[in-house]
Amino acid sequence: MKNNRLHLLFSLLTLCCLLSFGCKDKDKNDTPSPTNNNSGPSLLSGAQTGQAYTGSISDFTLAFNNNSVVLLAAQNSTGKIYAIDLKDNDATKAAANTISAPVTTFSTNIASSLGIAVSSISYVNIEVNPISKAVYALVRNTQNNNQTLFKITNAGTTIEQLDVSNVSYSTINFSSNGQLINDMTWGDNTLYFSYSHASTLDGSIATAVAPFAHNSSATSRATTVYKSNWGGNYFTSAPLESMTYGEVDGEKRLMGVTVCAPGYSFKTSEITTGSGLLQVKEYFNLNTGIAQKVFCVTSNNNTYMIEVHEDGRIVRVGERYLNESENANQNGRWIMTYQNGGLAPAPGLTEQELKLIAPANTYVLASKYSETKLLVISRQGGQLSLLDI
């Protein structure tokens, strides 16, 4: 869930507490390999040249194949997603860009670039270019709510605001009536994203297939989501606040965590199967709160979903809860429970099923750096560094 929508989510969190009953990549090296994506000369079609957008963007992700990297920047105010050729596909730069030591001045440098204090910045999203190892970070100025996208290179020491004034880009239309992006993810040559209406919160899942044609429109389907913590029923007003693409046992899936921490997983083929509302089932619950970000990693031919929680903890969810082998929609299925004053994996679970990577109050945000490492921003000091999974 992104910071620019937290006012809505905290309202939902209060409600859910009142009602509550109490990605497959075979590469195991430290350099991610985009094996789930088609290689090709371009991810854009009929691209324009010029200023892609003005003002703040709401969220972003990266799309990539073996030759190209495209920034997918969503802007709620225009109802468009801007697919921008970053010209950042030089693999020879990866060595110099690799984070080899903690960058202790990272947040200080970000704040200085914006002309504000560190206490006035909030991290919305962070992603790693798997080809060049450059880092992209979306940062909100809490004084005026403007959001700025940064590019970070040279092992995390060079920070610059991304210039989109003269770029090749295509636009993808997703809304003309007040829809707000919740999360975006890339996989199988497709952009998947979830959005909801600003007033009703009614949610939908949408797709756009590369190459992204200029002035094209995303295809969407409305969702209804099971919430055990809201009395145990399906709700159209329960959007998919966090979402990631991954492959589990050879099946292409979308998975994530909704507000108050119920977890879901479904095959991407279900989006185009049948008609009407897409029913999203619940398979586990991480026990209250909001997911800041989810993404997939692979180890020993197993896919795991990493969840970065609002309280600063990071967990790794195993295939048991991602492959739909569990009975769906079971009330009270908390796989994180309170123990010794804090939340920890429920007794009896193995690390392959659920692993606590970092306890609460540790990190602000994290992203996939490789199959074995995370890129993290610390809650204390705001430093940028790598963390073993």
* pLDDT single digits (tens) 23-35: 444 333 443 333 3
Output the pLDDT for position 2: 55
Q: Are 240 and 342 in contact (CB under 8 A)?
A: no
> Which stretches of the chain are DSSP H helices?
6-19, 94-97, 106-114
Contacts of 48 (CB under 8 A, 6+ apart): 168, 169, 170, 171, 214
Output the pLDDT for position 274: 86
Q: Are 52 and 167 in contact (CB under 8 A)?
A: yes
- Give me the mean pLDDT over the 330-335 stretch: 89
Output the pLDDT for position 205: 98
Sort 338 into a burial class: Cβ within 10 Å, 0-12 / 13-18 / 19+: exposed
Phi, psi of 7 (to 5 degrees): -60, -35
Q: Give the residue among 280, 264, 276 at the shortest CA–CA distance from 221.
A: 276
**Range of lowest pLDDT (34-43, 232-241, 343-352, 360-369):** 34-43
pLDDT band at 65 (very low <50, low <70, confident <90, very high): very high
Output the pLDDT for position 283: 98
**Range of lowest pLDDT (175-179, 186-190, 217-221, 267-271):** 175-179
Residue 208 has pLDDT above 60, yes or no: yes
Tell me which of 193 and 18 has the higher pLDDT.
193
Largest alpha-carbon pair distance within the chain? 58
Sign of CA dihedral 211, 59, 315, 202: negative
Regarding beta strands 59-64 and 69-75, do their DSSP bridges make them parallel or antiparallel, or are they unpaired? antiparallel
Residue 366 has pLDDT above 90, yes or no: yes
Output the pLDDT for position 17: 38
- Mean of per-residue pLDDT scores for the chain: 91
- In eight-state DSSP terms, residue 134 is -
Percent of the chain's residues with pLDDT above 70: 89
Regarding beta strands 44-45 and 219-227, do their DSSP bridges make them parallel or antiparallel, or are they unpaired? unpaired
- In eight-state DSSP terms, residue 163 is P
pLDDT band at 340 (very low <50, low <70, confident <90, very high): confident
Q: Are 359 and 308 in contact (CB under 8 A)?
A: no
- Does domain 3-22+24-388 match CATH 3.30.499? no
**Range of lowest pLDDT (26-35, 74-83, 316-325):** 26-35
pLDDT band at 6 (very low <50, low <70, confident <90, very high): very low
Output the pLDDT for position 197: 95
Residue 316 has pLDDT above 50, yes or no: yes
Rounded to 5°, the CA angle 44-49-50 comes to 130
The gap between the terminal CA atoms of the chain, to the nearest Å, is 22
Give the C-alpha separation, 2 to 9, whole Å. 10
Residue 87 has pLDDT above 80, yes or no: yes
Output the pLDDT for position 341: 85
Structure tokens belonging to residue 272:
């185009």
Output the pLDDT for position 55: 96
pLDDT band at 39 (very low <50, low <70, confident <90, very high): very low
- Give me the mean pLDDT over the 77-106 stretch: 98
Give the C-alpha separation, 205 to 238, whole Å. 12
Residue 12 has pLDDT above 60, yes or no: no
Helix (H) or strand (E) holding 377: strand 373-378
Residue 5 has pLDDT above 50, yes or no: no
Per-domain residue ranges for the chain? Answer: 3-22+24-388
DSSP string, 93-130: GHHHHS--S-BTTHHHHHHHHHTS-GGGEEEEEEEE-T
Residue 210 has pLDDT above 60, yes or no: yes
- pLDDT tens digits, 139-158: 999 999 999 999 999 999 99
Q: Give the residue among 293, 278, 61, 297 at the shortest CA–CA distance from 191.
A: 61
- pLDDT tens digits, 261-296: 999 999 999 999 989 999 999 999 999 999 999 999
Owner of token pair 């003002």: 55
Structure tokens belonging to residue 43:
């991810």
Contacts of 122 (CB under 8 A, 6+ apart): 3, 139, 140, 142
Give the C-alpha separation, 323 to 185, whole Å. 19
Contacts of 163 (CB under 8 A, 6+ apart): none
